[in-house]
Structure 1
Amino acid sequence: MNLSMGQIGSTPPSSTGAPSSVGTIGLPIWLWIANPAPNTTGPITSPPQPGVGLSVTARGTLDRVEWTLTTENGATVGAISCDGPNAAGTPYDGRNSAEPSPTCGFGADLNNSSGNLTLTGTSHWTVEWQSTNGESGQILFTSPPNNTQIRIGELQAIVRD
């Protein structure tokens, strides 16, 4: 089934892919799985193999994605879990950047550290299986984490009379 975390989508975008991209302290950070496919966002089904004496059908469902945001020295700035139908998040659609994601992201209150930050996502799956001999069960699976770098800066204003 090759269940995986998938690629990370975020606002601001990864500074690895967009070196000039800088987010702003105090704005929400949207999070999503950028390459939605059955093995990254589910559900995915592995049908029984024909011509085999005992065969198993399995269905994997994405339960949640756990996200952490850490500073360059490893201090955790924020951690959230996006669950159920919201687990895969919502890609940013260009709306007002001060609006929080409708499904998954760090709120403005958690975006309070500037610098180069590491964004890590780990997906958690439930695989339900049933064999041709009537046995069945459930396997909980955690994907290896995926991470990317984002850059957050401060905006400063000068007021002149």
Structure 2
Amino acid sequence: MPTAAELAQQAFNKMKLAAPKVGSAPPPGSKGLIGMPVWMWVERSATTWGPQSTTAAAGGLSVTATAKVTGIGWNMGDGHTVNCTSPGTPYSPGFGKKDSPDCGYRYTKVPAGGEYSITATTTWVVTWTATNGETGTLPNQTRTAQTTARVGELQVVN
């Protein structure tokens, strides 16, 4: 008969943890400006942010594993990382030039080649509870997606 920890792993193996579905403003292909806010967010769903739960059972023992994202790290491509504890707020034109309230950045220099490569990595924490009272955690999981940011410079001539 499998242990509670083994059933937790079986329950986890049934889950579908997807890479984050990234949104940004300005969007890929559009050009942003040095010093202007960049908004970053990811779609919030059971497979991209959680929580997501599945159960496995054997011999009268049942274990439910639950996975949820605890944070997302944005490697901005210029040597800086932004760590966010929420999926971020999708940008809307009504926000104008305001900073994102929960997940944003401002570039300070024009990239060589015209754009930065951004990598978004979600960290999933997986906990489990068994009907016999046992609880535990499985190793954290990560999922990664990439996007780009084109950044330019605005020069004013008198």
Structure 2: state its 5+ residue gaps.
1-14
Counterpart contact for 1:31–1:105, Cα < 8 Å: yes
Counterpart contact for 2:50–2:69, Cα < 8 Å: yes
Counterpart contact for 1:77–1:113, Cα < 8 Å: no
Q: Is it true that 1:14 corresponds to 2:13 in the alignment?
A: no
Relative to its length, the structure with more strand (as a share) is: 2
- Aligned-partner SS, 2:48: helix
Q: TM-score, normalised by structure 1?
A: 0.78
Structure 1: state its 5+ residue gaps.
16-20, 71-75
Counterpart contact for 1:28–1:97, Cα < 8 Å: no
Counterpart contact for 2:20–2:121, Cα < 8 Å: no
Q: Deviations over 1:52-80 (max 9, x none)?
A: 4343211112110000111xxxxx34211
Q: What is the identity, as a one-letter code, of the residue corresponding to 1:104?
A: C
Counterpart contact for 1:27–1:97, Cα < 8 Å: no
Distance in 2 (CA, whole Å) between partners of 1:10 and 1:142 is 24
Q: Of residues 42, 45, 65 in structure 1, which corresponds to 2:50? A: 42
* Equivalent residue number for residue 79 of structure 1: 81
* Equivalent residue number for residue 91 of structure 1: 90
Q: Percent identity?
A: 35
Q: TM-score, normalised by structure 2?
A: 0.79
> Which consecutive segments of 4 or more residues in structure 1 shift more than 6 A?
none
Count of residue correspondences: 140
- Aligned-partner SS, 2:93: coil
Distance in 2 (CA, whole Å) between partners of 1:94 and 1:58 is 40
Q: What is the identity, as a one-letter code, of the residue corresponding to 2:153?
A: E
* Equivalent residue number for residue 149 of structure 1: 148
Distance in 1 (CA, whole Å) between partners of 2:140 and 2:127 is 11
Listed as ranges, the matches of 1:1-161 within 5 Å are 1-15=15-29, 21-33=30-42, 35-46=43-54, 48-49=55-56, 52-53=58-59, 54-70=61-77, 76-83=78-85, 87-106=86-105, 108=106, 111-114=107-110, 115-159=114-158
C-alpha distance 36-96 of structure 1, shift in aligned 2 (>3 A):
closer
- Aligned-partner SS, 1:39: coil
